[in-house]
Amino acid sequence: MDTLWTVVNVVVMLILIGLLIWMQKKHVSFTKRVFTGLALGIIFGFILQWAFGTQSEVVSKSTDWFSLVGSGYVGLLQMVVIPLIMVSIISAIMNLKGRQNLGKMSGSIIAVLLITVAIAASVSIVTSLSFNLKAIEIQAGDREQAQGQKLEEKVGDVKDKSIPQQVLEFIPTNPFADMTGARRSSTLAVVIFSAFIGVAVLGIDRKKPEQAATFRKMVEAVYAVVLRIVTLVLRLTPYGILALITKTTATTNIDEILKLAKFVGASYVALIVMFIIHLILITLFGFNPIQYVRKVFPTLVFAFTSRSSAATIPLNVETQTKKLGVSEGIANLSATFGATIGQNGCAGIYPAMLAVMIAPTVGIDPTSWDFIIKLILIVTISSFGVAGVGGGATFASLIVLSTMNLPVALAGLLISVEPLIDMGRTALNVNDSITAGLISSKILKENDQDTFNNNHVELDSAHA
């Protein structure tokens, strides 16, 4: 009987996918198809949960099939991330005009990311104290205790490393290994390696212009091919979101969420407050926040459902350049840096909230200024090199908690609601990188205001 219901569920999913395909053939806009996929996925997911339960064999087998579309889509995006980062960074640097400066671009973007992650940590501390969050109030079951033990084992990877040693990890000693994502800092290492190549081309321009011209043509050809691959993959976004959100909704245990409703509520309050701060910042730089939200929302929806800042890089870059008028160089740098540096959600709000919750268990007053200032500084510094994939927040928390001499095992108490919170954190991470790109483009006068104000711009992926 379980097999029969699994087949029925898969058929329903195929029908929903067919509906989205029909909408595409009718030239329904990309954004509308994304939201349709989101809505259908939520409804279908709740129906599955109501009919079979989150732990049922039917839901497990059905979502396993759904993953062919959802996880397959995320996998395709991850496939193009490293090639896109490499050719984009190299192309952006080697095509810098006279008034453009790589140092200014990178410095501006990183400054915005670090300032906002410090603000995010501050917002998280205030929110945690306002909700009176305490780790001691959360009951630990077998699953939570097992997770706590895993975290204690993992902390050995970072506890004995000083900040200078952690910074040294960013150096791409083996760039080919980093292209495989072998380390948590692999993405940032690839960025650094690509930047060296771009700078080298600028140097060759003066000494060996013919060789430089040949290399430029090669990079431009590869860049065109990679962008076409990105376009083809992005066309699958509505279907990927449909499958991802269906699985998330069907497998999310409502009872577990209700048990930790206080923490989930505090987390999303902090995330929303930080998102509003982002809007205030872009408003101060002369951009219409309503127009901004309308244009970036589909990208944030994907980030929310995929839980991967790295996988969102292609869509992030496309949104900045095609919808917001950010120059390609700044868009590529901000999207890439934002996936590994200064993540407001994973590296800012989450570790700070855990620290405030856990501090009282070891007799530390989380309201003391010594604790607060130290926490904000550690969060800001440790936000370098956090992996832009699921689990990045856990690693960031290990660094912060171990540096603050707080027990890391207590972070395992939140494992049951981790996926739900991670969705919001990832969306905020991506929004922060877009905000950094937009603000930097304004500061460096690399923004096309007409593109930002244009209400009829549609992503290439919608009609390619």
Q: Is the pLDDT of residue 230 over 60?
A: yes
Region of poorest pLDDT, from 99-103, 266-270, 426-430? 99-103
Q: What is the pLDDT of residue 385?
A: 61
Which residue has better confidence, 287 or 306?
Answer: 287
- State which amino acid sits at residue 202: L
Non-local (6+) Cβ contacts of 31 within 8 A are 297, 298, 458, 462
Q: How many C-beta atoms surround the C-beta of residue 425 within 10 A?
A: 28
Q: Is the pLDDT of residue 78 over 50?
A: yes
For residue 316, the tally of other CB atoms under 10 A from its CB is 29
Is the confidence at residue 464, as pLDDT, over 60?
A: no
Lowest mean pLDDT among 37-41, 216-220, 253-257: 253-257
- Across the range 20-47, mean pLDDT stands at 89
- Over the stretch 288-307, which tens digit does the pLDDT of each residue have? 999 999 999 989 988 888 77
Q: Which CATH number fits domain 2-463: 1.10.3860.10, 1.10.240.10, 3.40.50.150, 3.40.640.10?
A: 1.10.3860.10
Among 2-6, 81-85, 211-215, name the one with the lowest average pLDDT.
81-85
Q: Reduced to 3 states, what is the DSSP secondary structure of residue 234? A: helix
Q: What pLDDT is recorded for position 156?
A: 54
The pTM of the full predicted model, rounded to 2 decimals, is: 0.80
Torsion sign (Cα): 112, 114, 120, 122: negative
What one-character-per-residue DSSP string does 71-109 give?
HHHHHHHHHHHHHHHHHHHHHHHHT--TT--HHHHHHHH
Domain boundaries, the chain: 2-463
pLDDT value, residue 460: 47
Q: What would the mean pLDDT of 99-110 be, rounded to a whole number?
A: 81
For all residues of the chain together, what is the average pLDDT?
84
Of 278, 288, 325, the closest CA to residue 444 belongs to 325
